[in-house]
Structure 1
Amino acid sequence: MDIRFRSRFCILFLLLTCLVICGFAFVEAQNQRPKNVQVAIRAKWSGTPLLLEAGELLSKESKHLFWEFIDGWLHVAKTEGDSHSAKDCLVKILKHGSSLLSESLASLFEFSLTLRSASPRLVLYRQLAEESLSSFPLSDDGYSHNGHGVDASEAVGTKKLDSLLVGVNPKSPRGKCCWVDIGAELFFDVSELQSWLQGPNEIGDSFQQPELYDFDHVHFDSNLMSPVAILYGALGTECFREFHLTLVEAAKEGKVKYVVRPVLPSGCEGEVGPCGAIGAMDSLNLGGYGVELALKNMEYKAMDDSTIKKGVTLEDPHTEDLSQEVRGFIFSKILERKPDLTSEIMAFRDYLLSSTISDTLDVWELKDLGHQTAQKIVQASDPLQSMQEINQNFPSVVSSLSRMKLNDSVKDEIIANQRMIPPGKSLMALNGALINIEDIDLYLLIDLVHQELSLADQFSKLKLPGSTVRKLLSTVTPPESDTFRVDFRSSHVHYLNNLEEDAMYRRWRSNLNDILMPVFPGQLRYIRKNLFHAIYVLDPATVSGLQSIDTITSFYENSYPIRFGVILYSTELIKKIERSGGELHSSDFEHDSETEDDKSSLIIRLFIYTKENHGTQTAFQFLSNINRLRIESADEALEMHHIEEAFVETLLPKVKSPPQEILLKLEKEQTHKELSQESSLFVFKLGVSKLQRCLLMNGLVLDSSEEALINAMNDELPRIQEQVYYGQINSHTDVLDKFLSEAGVSRYNPQIIVSGKVKPRFVSLASSILGGESVLNELNYLHSPETVDDVKPVTHLLALDVTSKKGIKLLREGIRYLIRGSKNARVGVLFTASQDADLSSILLVKTFEITAASYSHKKKVLEFLDQVCSFYEHNYILRSPAAADSAQAFITKVYELAEANELSSKAYKSSLSEAPNLNFREHLNKVAQFLFRQFGIASGVDAVITNGRVTSLDTGVFLGDDLHLLESVEFKHRIKHIAEIVEEVNWDGIDPDMLTSKYVSDIIMFVTSSMATRERSTESARFEILNAQYSAVVLNNDNSSIHIDAVVDPLSPSGQKLSSLLRVLAKYVHPSMRIVLNPMVS
């Protein structure tokens, strides 16, 4: 008897949608065919109410929607009867939430609620509620002033949390389901809260208020300066309704800052009504990520094959049915044609049946398996479902796939596409932006889709056509540039050498193409061309500044192919310039003893004298001698005698008269004083004085160390080589002029030119307009002369305190920025004022608003406003209140200046003569509330908001050049490509009288601010170059604002993952899709 062992291996792949956040897996499998595996993943925390989850999902869309949802639900619960089934409640919640959203967002809202994606947020509120109850300070007499409060220890009891559990639901304190935390007390009854609200003295008391977070729900009518009152409770309970109505009224009256943290304490499920507790009583099953189960089955069977008859197998049930196809053969027909070969044919059939059972495939059958799979998917009635089924059940379908007849057109198109993309490569892009397939999961994908749908909804409400919306969403933002160059070209730059003219470089080669020749690593290219300009900005009286002089001298003496130079400044003079608001007035320094004793200014003046009379080399030698004498002295601190000795020592061999006499004459006559001051002012305006000392390598701002210089050369070399190779730089090109003209900025400001992980803060302005905010709608703008009717892509909003010196300085800089001229920008001003603002401050605001509204088109309007601000600053800001002029003097001055600048004074006389009423002060408070809620700008803090980019001005001076820098940076990287799209829009259904330059400029401001807030990749791919006629899944939806481009290998792990994600998107979002199949080559 022969014993035959047969091994059978099968791998079962199962991809289910379930979230692996944290949980226990319960797997049930039945030992029957087909084998079935069920997986359920449950969270560690108990269930959370679907009603509260719905509110959290809506708050992600808009803060106002959260409160609208609460108010609407309270109204519905009062007017409609209770729903008694879970299904009815779910439908009711979805209907109520969806009514606040557009159709596309409503569909995503339904799916997100099904996913339970907001449940973790409610768990966080549970933890905060537990802290509110447990961390309250103990008191022997109870913590309520009126005797009705509950002691914290009594409320919490002796509860001990299990450290292994997450988000334990707090127990209801003494059977109460809601409470209000004000920091000093907890109120469990509305009567306690009302008593507290009615006590004005107690409301004003200072105490430690509860900490608020970005995710907290702050009522929009709340007074930001009022005490915080946090309501812990669940929508649907009677106590929540009572507390909510009381706190809303208090918020409107300015008594409290009302915050809601949704929590349904344990034991209150019966108090919330049937719909309020749905989801809270059951364990939480979560879905989202893929789970792959790989099962390996091995069996050994012993058979006695001596009894097997010819053409008969003992264990296959299909043996007697010869008409059934076996691996492509129908043996009944073969036997009819060749009856004399029955024995051989049946033996061949036995072999095939044995091969079928072992599920092995011959190599030749795998030849076109990838192409056949692609054809199967494309030809299916539901391609995405087909791709998912093939991915998840590949072992059971591979045999039928291998027998499919392949269409040559499919194969040829796949091969043609694979000339442009590697076989098996998978890519995916959402509205043109690439997505990292390795990191993406259902939740991240839904967040990205929600972001795009929200933007599309905002743009549609701005009356933008659907085609324009899709074009905007598919626009890829240019990558941020890190090659900003400071344009330092000025007579204040003192060059040490010139590679193109100095005699010491005459033996160097002048052929610029030598820079393209290979050299040994670390070897320099000695070319007689000023390719690298290393300019050190330093204070010559500091140790670090003098050390930089030695660094320059060392590199120069070692013949480095670099042109060296310095820009000198005085730190003391920079401080005075900052105190004077960025201006230099000679009268401020005429009798200033500190300026006369300033070592830095003296060195600069002596350096300039030496350079003019004895040459640049001698002037740098003077600086080197100062450092040498400093080092040789016992005290390394620089003293005045070091400077004098170095000057005498440097000039002694150069002059006939005694150098001491020259020195005394220079010190007495203050020769070159103006040049030294202008040099410091130039450094201040460049914006690099705060860096202490720095290196400008062809304009790039770097550290001044030796290592930084060498690294800067290596970084700059490839850029120069590229331009030499393409002929953009030749022997006649001034390299420095070329670089600074193309990418140079007039001022360096690290708040604006950010690098590394620090990112600017952006806020959407469209949401404020769509939310009913009227502050921006009522705003009038200023423009550069003769540009009022032009569309302005860039909008600067200056948020400033009119009662502060810094605020008026910012206002004047904004006006001067426009006077110097800007074709692309406009300026709007958002005035705030302190509570004790006097009448003159109110009058200045009114004057400004009248001018912007009525005279912005006048030629001298900017000069008028600058003169008014100057008068206000000198007579009201810089003087004490007692010495300040009267308000009538200000009004009279406004009349005079208006007439002098050819503006009619009638509008001012009719408005300024009236006493400011309470409504105007309320308007200023409204602006302050808007700035804090929308941008997080606190009262008294000045800021510049450029198309949604918020730049807070806490310290330092902000100049008009900074506004120009902001304009340049933002227009180049965020605004230009969007403005071009908006300006080409064919506005249908819009009143032609509304289509003004202001209207279009507003649309650009709103759109660019919203686009800047979305987080997505700046990388893209050209999917359109791939053919998609025979081997691609194309699902068109012209009404959808979501478009998916993908390249997928259907038989890869990425294909497994993407097939499920794409099916979900197709079901709930209905995007347009173009999926090019890219299988591996067999």
Structure 2
Amino acid sequence: DLRSRFDFHPGEAYLFINGLRFEMDTFDPFSILDVLKLEGKLMTGLHNLGISEENVDKFLKLNLHVWEDNYVIDIRHPSIKWINDLETDEMYLSWPASYQELLKPAFSGVIPSIRRNFHNLVLFVDPAQEHALEFIKLAELFYDNKVPVRIGFVFVVSTDDEVDGTDDAGVALWRAFSYITEQLDVSQAFTSIVQMYEKVKKQSVLTVENVKDVLQHKFPQADIWDILGIDSKYDDGRKEDASFYKMTGLGPLPQVLYNGELCDNEELSIEERESAILQRILDTTVYLQREVFVGIINDRTSAIDYLMEKNNVVPRINPLILNSEREYINLISTSVTADIEDSSTFFFLDSQDKSAVVAENMHYLTPEDGSMISAVSIWIVADFDKPSGRKLLLNALEHMKTSIHSRLGVISNPASKINEENTVISRGILAAFLTQKNSLLRDFLWKLAREETAAALYSGDQMKALVTEGMDKNAFEKKYNTIGVNIFQTHQLFCQNVLNLRPGEMGVVSNGRFIGPLHEDFYPEDFHLLEKITFTNSLQKIKDIVENMGINSKNMSDLTMKVDGLISSLPKRGSRHDITLLKENHSVIKVNPLENDMFFNIIAIVDPLTREAQKMAQLLIVLGKIINMKMRLFLNCKGMLSEAPLTSFYRFVLEPELMPGTHDFLGPVAKFLDIPESPLFTLNMITPEGWLVEIVQSNCDLDNIYLKDVERTVEAEYELEYLLLEGHCFDEVTEQPPWGLQFTLGTQNKPVLVDTIVMANLGYFQLKANPGAWVLKLREGKSEDIYQIVGHKGADSDPDLTHLEDVIVLLDSFKSKILEIQVQKKPGKMKDDILSDKVEKKKGVWDSIKSLTGRLHKEKEKTETDVLNIFSVASGHLYERFLRIMMLSVLRNTKTPVKFWFLKNYLSPTFKEVIPHMAKQYGFQYELVQYKWPRWLHQQTEKQRIIWGYKILFLDVLFPLAVDKIIFVDADQIVRHDLKELRDFDLGGAPYGYTPFCDSRSDMDGYRFWKTGYWASHLLRRKYHISALYVVDLKKFRKIAAGDRLRGQYQTLSQDPNSLSNLDQDLPNNMIYQVAIKSLPQDWLWCETWCDDESKQRAKTIDLCNNPKTKEPKLKAAARIIPEWVEYDTEIRQLLDQLKDKKKTSILIHDEL
């Protein structure tokens, strides 16, 4: 039933909370907590509206989506001058007209030539500006080459009556175009315009003389003054075209629309203009092919009407309305009530109750006389005794003429001190709303909002003289004369305290969404757009539920407004699933909610023999303690199993309430009781994605827990050390990740605490941080010189600033913080490459001096930082023992200062406690590095394979950017030679060097897997290299994005469980053709398994490779193969014993004190 009805496959696990789905393998408890809070807010709001449980359930099951279409402008407007028409022009008559032509095979990138206006380009230009020439050329290119696109112009020129074509080039072109169109046709007019611009000199603008020259040449008998002069007959539509441009809401000229959709600045750049528009045509062609194929459009369909009658077509674009960050007011009342005319009581209400009181007392103008539900409730906020307020009212009334979904209410926000004299018109409007029927109210409002009416009233006319026939005159006059100033004071308090408007400022509220303050005209088309995006499919579903609730139309409209405002104000969530399981008797566990209280509907689907079930069990227990829930659990088992489904014991540490860990009380604890003693266990911590957790205390080797040998309880304490700041970075122009771009993260006082590099993989970066305010910026040097931050999402500084040198990030949650950063190259740096070694030539004496001092400084710096950087990884006490011995062998064979780098993720507390003492004893530096495996990169589950991954996958981001070269040395290796020689080894342009596997021990030939099968055919006689020792040129590695290439190939290969059996070794050998390997001399690594005894004496390092034939334990092999190993081991043991004795002594002294 689960599979047939819901496509849930056996073994899959899902958790649904009120229909919202959570994937059990990726969820984190903080996300669930956020959802519970939002759902609780929604459910509480619906209950407070008095909605029954049955209808609350209906609302919760709705799939509500924010309108996300790209809005397009209706281009069926007379102000657009189309210079061609594919459907009627003679030049296209030889083309086929059938839509079926779209389905005929064609070469890729070829646009079908069909006699239909599928593709429409509208160019808004000011003919007298520099940009006009380029856009005329673009239109000429498409027109002359018969590209199947209809081209139209809107010439935006001066509308001043005193300006004529003899002194203004724009007006001259307009009148010339109109004249030629009348005398000949529009195509000839366009050809003449092209000729005018051919006379324009480069980087110059059109002049009146350019226009005159073409007119005189083409029409030698014509009177140029009659055409261009002040009394020209060819001026009709000039003001209308400018009004149309203003009405569209488009930004500064030039602007280009393709099928009504605005082309962005990048598409309009000189380099991209033609190709961007052609790409749009190709994309639309593919879309139209699909529509024809499924029968949505056919030969009877008007192409332009089909394109312009979609839901996302609007007459005007208004960023205020379309802004994705929307502000809502809460219209749902608590138990508090107040009289709208009691401004003193209203003053003390909170924002929610103020809004609820205003909503409850609002009166409306509706499309009909209250006989139908109005799904969109619009309030206009203004001082209606001011011309701007009356104009807003007139525009709203104009919209109401054609609206079928909206009702209109008014809120007064007087600009000056409130008294009867300066609220004359506002009182008239309010009195009409309170006393008149709908149609009469509309007519009276039209009359009252006109400027001549206002002038008459302020000249002494009486309000009662304006009463129209049919109005309830007595009721109106009585209400008008008794309305005091209190209600206006209440309205003004609402405007100031809830809408944050100053006296006199205007705004609009639509179903609780506030838009304002308005600083420019809000046109009827704006109201139309506002209604369109408010009345979405989601609102239609809300309206349908409300209509079936059996209440009157006023209450239905109120309820629709409040429910839509409540739901829309919440952050967008995923799709809801209606998991109505008819066979509920199959549920193995049923938990019923407490009666007479709202509850969460929980459905859990799980296979009990999976890791997901281990997590879900504790989660459901905790949910049962913190929320009232109706829960049904269904088992979704696999029919057949080929292996044991569970190989681990698991505890999900989640408590129903905060448990602070102090000296007296334990924090949250995972307890493993009654587990078998014979297996060898490893303890792992599985944490939320954005956490970096480390072990700080343990009483045994957590990698090798053998309970038979442990006399006491195994204990381990972990600590949340860092929260991750993650992000994705893209170049705004190329829309590609800026390879090699470097970021730093710090505070205001310490700007650079950590740094990182942007991966080519998804533009990903991550930085370690802690709760608090942080500053993210481009790293000094090439990153800062070439790039600038131009935008961001997810951060806490203003993303609308033109240039963002610093991005402020606030870490205030345990959830992952993921940013999106947009950068672009600075002016003059467009051709610079951040990964290039190119150095700009210096100019002048001062620059020469700076260059010299800089070089001397670098030479001094080089001697100071001549350090051997050694990287290694280890996990478990045995390998940490090997690691300490390896370190000692490195130090004994070099005179160069050494800095060790260790992967912190898997080191034991003991090692981290000892390493500072070793550093002091032997005089080396060390640093613990860590990197969280990115969530988008295929995860490994076995600890050994995870460690292998860290050896190769993150070399470009694991170390500070100042580290240029690093040498990896396996923990179970002994060094017998100065590694400085390896560091300085010439890699011949390769990013890293590895030692090939030995071939000299012939009795192991049968185990040399690289000699046969896949590896033999892939390597083609090249060497297969061992990963126990390698040197990395990190500068080169980062420059060629080797890390990104390795991760990309890993992502592909790791999907196959049989691939990359030796991950750290197989991956670089597999990528040998994409990321070159320099083969190091064989002497650099000797191991007994593969190398003969004779070559041992030349060995510079000895590695304790596993022997697949003898399977000899490494400790035994180390003492047998490497004579000095025992000596090193003894020396380290003595140091550890000394440290242990010191620790005991210090504890004793402390106890005595």
TM norm structure 1: 0.53
2:645 corresponding residue in structure 1: none
Partners of 2:164 and 2:518 lie apart in 1 by 28
The amino acid that maps onto 1:564 is I
* 1:292-691 superposed matches below 5 A: 416=3, 420-435=7-22, 437=24, 440-517=27-104, 519-570=106-157, 572-573=158-159, 592-593=162-163, 598-632=168-202, 636-649=204-217, 652=218, 655=219, 657-659=220-222, 661-688=223-250, 690-691=251-252
1:479-512 CA-partner distances (Å, limit 9, x unpaired)? 5231433222123222222333334434444443
1:429–1:435 CA contact under 8 A, matched in 2: yes
1:487–1:744 CA contact under 8 A, matched in 2: no
Greater relative contact order, per chain length (Cα 8 Å cut-off, separation 6+): 1
1:803–1:837 CA contact under 8 A, matched in 2: no
**Residue 1003 (str. 1) matches residue 559 (str. 2):** yes
Partners of 1:784 and 1:419 lie apart in 2 by 43
The amino acid that maps onto 2:83 is L
Deviation at 1:1005, TM superposition (A): 0.9
For structure 1, which runs of at least 5 residues remain unmatched after alignment? Answer: 1-412, 574-588, 876-884, 987-994
Aligned residue among 545, 554, 571 for 1:1015: 571
2:512 corresponding residue in structure 1: 948
Partners of 1:864 and 1:804 lie apart in 2 by 18
Deviation at 1:940, TM superposition (A): 3.5
**Residue 843 (str. 1) matches residue 843 (str. 2):** no
1:482 alignment partner, SS class: coil
1:289-339 CA-partner distances (Å, limit 9, x unpaired)? xxxxxxxxxxxxxxxxxxxxxxxxxxxxxxxxxxxxxxxxxxxxxxxxxxx
2:165–2:173 CA contact under 8 A, matched in 1: no
1:840–1:890 CA contact under 8 A, matched in 2: no
* 1:879-894 superposed matches below 5 A: 889-892=459-462, 894=463
Deviation at 1:868, TM superposition (A): 1.9
2:385–2:423 CA contact under 8 A, matched in 1: no
1:978–1:1004 CA contact under 8 A, matched in 2: yes
Partners of 1:874 and 1:783 lie apart in 2 by 21
1:402-450 CA-partner distances (Å, limit 9, x unpaired)? xxxxxxxxxxx67x55992344444333322334656643333233223
In the comparison of the two structures, how many residue pairs are matched? 615
Call closer, same or farther: CA 1:1021–1:522 in 2, change over 3 Å. Answer: farther
**Residue 895 (str. 1) matches residue 482 (str. 2):** no
Call closer, same or farther: CA 1:550–1:1055 in 2, change over 3 Å. Answer: farther
The amino acid that maps onto 1:940 is G
The amino acid that maps onto 2:518 is D
1:1056 alignment partner, SS class: helix
1:792 corresponding residue in structure 2: 374
Deviation at 1:962, TM superposition (A): 0.9
Partners of 1:462 and 1:865 lie apart in 2 by 32
Aligned residue among 761, 769, 784 for 2:327: 761
1:1032–1:1075 CA contact under 8 A, matched in 2: yes
1:537 alignment partner, SS class: strand
For structure 2, which runs of at least 5 residues remain unmatched after alignment? Answer: 337-351, 642-1153
TM norm structure 2: 0.50
2:586–2:634 CA contact under 8 A, matched in 1: no
Call closer, same or farther: CA 1:799–1:436 in 2, change over 3 Å. Answer: farther
Question: By percentage of residues, which structure has more helix?
Answer: 1
2:154 alignment partner, SS class: strand
1:189 corresponding residue in structure 2: none
2:449 corresponding residue in structure 1: 869
Question: By percentage of residues, which structure has more strand?
Answer: 2
1:974–1:1012 CA contact under 8 A, matched in 2: no
**Residue 965 (str. 1) matches residue 521 (str. 2):** no
**Residue 719 (str. 1) matches residue 309 (str. 2):** no
Call closer, same or farther: CA 1:432–1:519 in 2, change over 3 Å. Answer: farther
1:565 alignment partner, SS class: strand
Deviation at 1:804, TM superposition (A): 4.3
Deviation at 1:963, TM superposition (A): 0.8
* 1:211-226 superposed matches below 5 A: none
1:797 alignment partner, SS class: strand
2:376–2:406 CA contact under 8 A, matched in 1: yes
Deviation at 1:1011, TM superposition (A): 0.8
Partners of 1:641 and 1:838 lie apart in 2 by 61
**Residue 694 (str. 1) matches residue 255 (str. 2):** yes
Partners of 2:60 and 2:521 lie apart in 1 by 37
2:437 corresponding residue in structure 1: 856
* 1:886-925 superposed matches below 5 A: 889-892=459-462, 894-899=463-468, 901-912=469-480, 920=485, 922-925=486-489
1:478 alignment partner, SS class: coil
1:787 alignment partner, SS class: coil
1:929 alignment partner, SS class: helix
The amino acid that maps onto 1:1042 is F
1:463 alignment partner, SS class: coil
Deviation at 1:1024, TM superposition (A): 4.5
The amino acid that maps onto 1:1009 is G
Range that drifts further, 948-957 or 517-526: 517-526
Call closer, same or farther: CA 1:621–1:1069 in 2, change over 3 Å. Answer: same
1:742 alignment partner, SS class: coil
Deviation at 1:1021, TM superposition (A): 4.3
% identity of equivalent residues: 22
1:630 alignment partner, SS class: coil
1:417–1:1027 CA contact under 8 A, matched in 2: no
Aligned residue among 603, 611, 616 for 1:1058: 616
Partners of 1:448 and 1:552 lie apart in 2 by 52
2:84–2:151 CA contact under 8 A, matched in 1: yes
Deviation at 1:1010, TM superposition (A): 0.5
Call closer, same or farther: CA 1:516–1:691 in 2, change over 3 Å. Answer: farther
Deviation at 1:467, TM superposition (A): 0.3
1:708-737 CA-partner distances (Å, limit 9, x unpaired)? 423322432343122101111112211210
Call closer, same or farther: CA 1:564–1:1046 in 2, change over 3 Å. Answer: farther
Partners of 1:872 and 1:648 lie apart in 2 by 49
Deviation at 1:471, TM superposition (A): 0.7
Partners of 1:1054 and 1:647 lie apart in 2 by 80
Partners of 1:597 and 1:796 lie apart in 2 by 47
**Residue 741 (str. 1) matches residue 741 (str. 2):** no
Partners of 1:552 and 1:505 lie apart in 2 by 17
The amino acid that maps onto 1:941 is E
Call closer, same or farther: CA 1:721–1:869 in 2, change over 3 Å. Answer: same
Range that drifts further, 739-748 or 820-829: 739-748
Deviation at 1:959, TM superposition (A): 0.7
2:375–2:560 CA contact under 8 A, matched in 1: yes
1:980-1025 CA-partner distances (Å, limit 9, x unpaired)? 1111114xxxxxxxx4321211111111100112224242446458
* 1:164-183 superposed matches below 5 A: none
Deviation at 1:556, TM superposition (A): 2.1
Partners of 2:143 and 2:171 lie apart in 1 by 25
1:779–1:828 CA contact under 8 A, matched in 2: no
2:71–2:317 CA contact under 8 A, matched in 1: no
1:787–1:823 CA contact under 8 A, matched in 2: no
Call closer, same or farther: CA 1:910–1:783 in 2, change over 3 Å. Answer: closer
Partners of 1:962 and 1:909 lie apart in 2 by 34
The amino acid that maps onto 2:260 is G
2:430 alignment partner, SS class: helix
1:569–1:601 CA contact under 8 A, matched in 2: no
The amino acid that maps onto 2:553 is S
1:752–1:965 CA contact under 8 A, matched in 2: no
